[in-house]
Every structure is written in C-alpha cells, then in structure tokens.
Amino acid sequence: MTTHPAAHPPSPSPITTALAAIRARIVASARSAGRAPDAVTLVAVSKFHPQSSVVEALRAGQTVFGENRVQEAAEKFPSLRQDWPAMRLHIIGGLQTNKALEAVRIADMIESLDRPALADALARAADRTGRLPDLLVQVNTGDESQKSGIPRAQADSFITACRQRFGHAVRGLMCIPPADEDPTPHFRYLADLAQTHGLALLSMGMSADFEAAIAAGATHVRVGSAIFGHRPASAPNGAIPPARLAAPES
C-alpha cells in the first residue's frame, strides 16, 4: 500500500476530545470498582449549549443526553430524532407540573420524579398521550430546602406509591448531593435505597464526582461542563449554580 504525504486528518473538535476523555475515565473507574464498563451510561448534559453542540456529540457517538428544562429540550431535540433514531433524551431538572405533558411527549426518561403532585401530572399526561417515559425517583439525599427531590423520610413511601402507579416504568433513583459535602455517603445511601426497592438504575455523579459515583454503583452519570465547557454564569432558575460547576479537566 502506498502512503501519500497527504493533509493531516482534521483535528477532532473539543467536544469529541472531551467525550473520549470522559469515556476513558468512566471505563477506568468501572474497572477499578470491579464493574463492567458498559454497566455505566454516560448522560451528556447539554443544557445552555446550542443544538450544534449536541450534533457534534452525536457525531462523536454519544447517544444519551440530559436537559434540565423542558422548553429548551423541546427546542433542541425533537428535530434531531429522524436523523439520529438511537438518540435518547433524559429530563433531569426539577419539573413543574404544567410542563409534565410536554416532558412526556419529548423525553425517553424523566429522572426528576420527586413529589406526588408531579406523579399525578405525569399520570394524566400518560393517559392523554398514550406514552410513558422511563422514570427515576429523585431523592433529596441532603434534605436541602432549596433542592428538588423527595425528602429522605418520605422516600420509601413515595417510591412504593410510584411503583404501584407506574409499574415497571419506575426504573431507579437519582440524586444530586449537597455541593459542600463528600458525595460518597449520599451515593451509598441512594444505592442502598435502590437495592431495598429492587430498582436497577442509579443516576448519580456529575463532572466533579462521577468517578466516586461509579465506585458506589452508578449506572448513569450526568456530565455537562466537562464535555461541553462552561455554561453561561447567569444560569436560569432551577439550574445548578455556577459554584457547583467543575472545571473541565485539561
């Protein structure tokens, strides 16, 4: 075979490079925890980043995305489905009941089922649309007043009620530990709670702590800034405040 002193291949985009690095770290953490690397799904959190960034990630082989606002997700994702049928959209942010219908229409998974009123709204939306996304119950493991999630003391009864109502659509649990604490005890608590209820999925860990989450059993890690770069500092309501954001690894 002859080789040509051809042009260099185009250099990969920053998103492609960051995704490869995160995937490598996921594989390494899974292995060192004695877990299969494919037991961990990377949810690429694209909130506040344009659709073009999502497309770049799709081209780099990423299929699962997380958005925390329904309106933003509705603007960015449905039009991509035809070209990218394997794409999966997770709604990961606190969900207002008046957004439940739209969320049920566009999402493959809703990770933020956290209160009875939202369960009611999702049930009505499922009746209306004939469709029910997979669901995770979000637990406020730090019992923080400003954070969404069912409080610890109500978690058992709420999970039980959701499973009675939605059956196998309830796939697991999600949490966002307090920003100023060691996340590992929160991850372990969530893993124990999932096991108690026989639930398979655990969405926990973000840019700053996904490796600790994998060590504690995460099946889904939600990584945003380490893939897409920093978000605008004035994040809209409901967003993780900038202080919580991790710097992308260089």
Task: Give me the residues that bind ligand PLP (CB under 6 A), please.
Answer: 45, 47, 68, 92-93, 176, 206-208, 222-226, 240, 245-246
What b-and-e string marks burial along 212-236, b requiring 16 or more CB atoms within 10 Å of the CB?
bbbbbbbbbbbbbbbbbeebeeebe
**Which two three-digit tokens encode residue 64?**
């699962």
Q: How far is the CB of 137 from ligand PLP (least distance, A)?
A: 14
Given a contact cutoff of 8 angstroms between Cβ atoms, the answer to whether 159 and 151 are in contact is no
Q: Which C-beta is closer to ligand PLP: that of 36 or that of 247?
A: 247
Q: How far is the CB of 73 from ligand PLP (least distance, A)?
A: 12
Q: Which C-beta is closer to ligand PLP: that of 27 or that of 208?
A: 208
Q: How far is the CB of 25 from ligand PLP (least distance, A)?
A: 13
Given a contact cutoff of 8 angstroms between Cβ atoms, the answer to whether 224 and 206 are in contact is yes
Q: How far is the CB of 47 from ligand PLP (least distance, A)?
A: 6
The Cα 49–Cα 223 span in angstroms is 13
Q: How far is the CB of 227 from ligand PLP (least distance, A)?
A: 8
Paired with 150 in beta bridges are: 139
Q: Which C-beta is closer to ligand PLP: that of 189 or that of 222?
A: 222
Q: Which C-beta is closer to ligand PLP: that of 45 or that of 193?
A: 45
Q: How far is the CB of 156 from ligand PLP (least distance, A)?
A: 22
Q: How far is the CB of 241 from ligand PLP (least distance, A)?
A: 10
Instruction: Find, among 47, 56, 58, the residue nearest to 87 by Cα.
Output: 58
What b-and-e string marks burial along 190-201, b requiring 16 or more CB atoms within 10 Å of the CB?
bbebbeebebeb
Nearest residue to ligand PLP, scored by beta-carbon proximity: 224
Q: Which C-beta is closer to ligand PLP: that of 18 or that of 159?
A: 18
Q: Which C-beta is closer to ligand PLP: that of 165 or that of 230?
A: 230
Q: Which C-beta is closer to ligand PLP: that of 170 or that of 223?
A: 223
Q: Collapse the DSSP code of 199 into the 3-class scheme (helix H, G, I; strand E, B; otherwise coil) and give the result.
A: coil
The Cα 72–Cα 18 span in angstroms is 23
29 burial class (0-12, 13-18, 19+ CB within 10 angstroms)? Answer: buried
In order of 120, 140, 245, the CA distances from 166 in angstroms are 11, 21, 33
